[in-house]
Amino acid sequence: MLSQNLISEATRLTLTGQLVEATALLQRMLRGESPEPSHARVSPARLEPPTIDVKASIVEEKESRRTTRVSPAPLQSFDRLKDFPGLNLRGPMTRAPPATTDIAPQGTRFIAGTFRSANGSRNYKLFVPSRSQEKPLPLVVMLHGCTQSPDEFAAGTRMNFLAEERNCFVVYPEQPSGANQAKCWNWFRAGDQHRDGGEPSLIAGITRQVMRDYPIDPKRVYVAGLSAGGALAAIMAATHADLYAAVGIHSGLACGAASDLPSAFVAMRQGGGSEIADGGPPVPTIVFHGDRDTTVHPNNGDRIVEQSIKAAGLKAKVSDGRVPHGHAYTRTNLTDPRGRAISEHWNVHGAGHAWSGGSPAGSYTDPRGPDATREMLRFFLEHSLPG
């Protein structure tokens, strides 16, 4: 059991900037070990990060057309920060960038933009399909995981290729290292869980800027993310239900799972709580989570689904399947009284903390799983905002 006194001490260490010491203390608590005195200096080499299934995180790396370059100095500095609960995707800080042909299909555009407001600014990359002038089109907002870039996330998920098939825009906000040293979205900070402030206001601002500048159908705007990005996607759905018609959460946590550093570690290890919406229809939600995920406990996927069940009294239908030569999975469909799918939960058996069905051209993917990108986009386009 976690001691409240020790949690308070970990919080104090965090507020004074002693992240390494706070991390080590929380890890010892979670393992049930006796804590060392708070004044003891902790060497980064002694820190033991949350176990990550590396094979699932960077699958069949030897088959990639590129080799991964590791810079010893950045890797050493990353080791000091990788336990910070942005849901770090463990791996080398320096990776060969994906080839442009792996990011977007020929004949399309992948362009850079910037959003600025009183709450701050963020850069983003925008995918523009080749038939973008035909009519108002859907928009998908994609929130990357820790240490990733928009280019890597686009290459790994292959969302741009599917979006070209279905004629959708896709925007990829970018978290700078100045906001989080591992480029994690700060899903666990109370100030970044509200509609009109912090990172939710920036993501919503990017969304509205793209809607203003391009022919976007305002009834068909969606948000999805991986890991820390998935946790932020859940927050966006909870705080901006009037903006997003559906949400996709891969290996993330429910909105309200944590509000500070200690509760974030507990949520990642054991599964966090969740805030259940009061009144109003739930945002349709599709969840992917590997049952071998040792970075974000699979119970967190269940918590996300529970938000929909408790909010709408939905009924579940469970089916099983297997990817040829790949992972088995259990799919739970939640439908409303009219039979409309409101939520889907894909529990991928044998998968770790990685994008299911993704491409090794990107980072942190598991090609052996069901195609999360295709299923998310299919689910999204089945839903639109009322009115």
- Is the pLDDT at 318 greater than 50? The verdict is yes
Looking at the structure, tell me whether residues 35 and 182 fall in a common domain: no
Residue 14 or 267, more confident: 267
Residue 88 covered by a domain: no
Residue 89 covered by a domain: no
Residue 59 covered by a domain: no
Looking at the structure, tell me whether residues 211 and 352 fall in a common domain: yes
Residue 304 or 29, more confident: 304
| CATH number for the domain harbouring residue 353 | 3.40.50.1820
Amino acid in the structure at residue 16: T
Q: Where are the beta strands (DSSP E) in the chain?
A: 109-117, 120-128, 137-143, 169-173, 216-226, 246-250, 285-290, 315-322, 328-335, 341-348, 355-356, 365-366
Looking at the structure, tell me whether residues 137 and 263 fall in a common domain: yes
Residue 222 or 77, more confident: 222
Closest CA to 90 of 233, 224, 228, 188: 228
β-pair partners for 172: 125
Looking at the structure, tell me whether residues 275 and 172 fall in a common domain: yes
The residues near 240 (Cβ < 8 Å, ≥ 6 apart) are 195, 200, 204
Q: Report whether 294 contacts 301 (CB < 8 A).
A: no
Q: Number of structural domains, the chain?
A: 2
- The tokens for 231 are 């946790």
β-pair partners for 123: 114
Q: How many CB atoms lie within 10 A of CB 353?
A: 29
Looking at the structure, tell me whether residues 44 and 104 fall in a common domain: no
User: Given this model, what pLDDT does residue 77 score?
Assistant: 30
User: Given this model, what pLDDT does residue 270 score?
Assistant: 78
Q: Annotated active-site positions, please?
A: 227
The lowest-confidence range among 73-77, 114-118, 293-297 is 73-77
Residue 321 covered by a domain: no
Closest CA to 295 of 369, 247, 364: 364
User: Given this model, what pLDDT does residue 259 score?
Assistant: 87
Q: Where are the beta strands (DSSP E) in 231-327?
A: 246-250, 285-290, 315-322
In this prediction the pTM is 0.80
- Is the pLDDT at 97 greater than 60? The verdict is yes
pLDDT band at 131 (very low <50, low <70, confident <90, very high): very high
Q: Could you give the CA distance from residue 153 to residue 160 in angstroms, rounded to a whole number? A: 10
Residue 365 covered by a domain: yes
Looking at the structure, tell me whether residues 145 and 31 fall in a common domain: no
Query: Which residue segment(s) compose the domain that 12 sits in?
Result: 1-48
Q: Could you give the CA distance from residue 353 to residue 177 in angstroms, rounded to a whole number? A: 22
Residue 316 covered by a domain: no
Buried b (16+ CB within 10 A) or exposed e, 27-44: bebeeeeebeeeeeebee
Looking at the structure, tell me whether residues 6 and 135 fall in a common domain: no
The residues near 3 (Cβ < 8 Å, ≥ 6 apart) are 29
% of the chain residues with pLDDT over 90: 57
Question: Directed axis angle between helix 159-166 and helix 372-380, to 10°?
Answer: 40
Q: Could you give the CA distance from residue 279 to residue 298 in angstroms, rounded to a whole number? A: 27
Looking at the structure, tell me whether residues 1 and 111 fall in a common domain: no
Which contiguous run of DSSP H or E holds residue 134?
A: none
* Distance, C-alpha 96 to centroid of its chain: 22
Q: Could you give the CA distance from residue 387 to residue 385 in angstroms, rounded to a whole number? A: 7
Mean pLDDT, the chain, whole residue set:
81
Looking at the structure, tell me whether residues 238 and 158 fall in a common domain: yes
